[in-house]
Structure 1
């Protein structure tokens, strides 16, 4: 753990809940390529579709942009294609270092994608698999509904106020807040002004590190200048 450094802020929590895409893994080029091809195949405006996809379950986006299509079948196709093709998926800056500073019981992943896709991207990015992964298939209602974050907190045996969410999209931040969990926004996917509802905005996970704390079962998350 880091012991001496200049910090702008230190946040205390028991559990860190990470979104996956745009937070721990950089998959934006891969995601937008597959969604763009899908939109063209169905003669949809690809640019309009791409504005709606981040932070939400595939099936929810399809229901919004193409309500006449069989959403379950189309979502399965898109998720399967992305699971098979992880070309260009890498770890985001600072992700591996931050996770290496956490004990397995201190963090979990809460993603809108299916578990098989999440694990494929983690392997492609050479990041560790979490003990707990809440996927879009594990909940009845996806982000921005709070179900996924509330479920993660419960399974991590923590109260919502003892958790801290790290997100990159507005639906994810809204889900965290609806669960009464504070959120850090990472600027990997959207500009800062679109994520201003988060308690804190950082450009990269490189600015986060775990520092020593005297309290047992406590995470002290330091934010560098």
Structure 2
């Protein structure tokens, strides 16, 4: 039975206290105008359940990924609190680099918070056989630091490969050079980064995609490298499963 509906004396009693019902997961969105195709975290049709979206004004991908996102911590806390006030029972974000805010957001909003796909790195490591480790494909390896990994309890020496030198993905998602996206070229950037990561680190047994715009390309990468690939979609579907367990 839905947690907002209770039986009392044989009668159905609805419980209030929220502005929006039926969407327990709130997503803090960066402010961007690039195409968000199916599979992108910011495309509402990606999710098999309703979500609440809140754009944090001024939080551009370039500002968050290439600079210090903690400069905008007050704005993210305020936005997260707004989502909770609306009805969110848990909070996530649409940028893996916001891992730096994990502790602060968790402390501020009083509900479960999962800031980054990188949270999965220690989970995936736990399921790999001895001698294998997790690798990360990120939108920007040059600015993904040990502190990002440390913030979510992941090994700081996790091998990474970025898309900075690609032809499309970084240019559109981070630099905002145009308002169109060549999906095939973007996919090639992700696949090439993943292949280079595995070639340079033969002990990699699985890949985690840092960027929340990468899930549309996860299947192609998995086929290319023959390894398990985890992303924000895999993490958030797990996260939501605890908020609304399946009734058998």
What TM-score, normalized to structure 1? 0.41
**Larger relative contact order (CA 8 Å, sep ≥ 6):** 1
- The structure with the larger Rg is 2
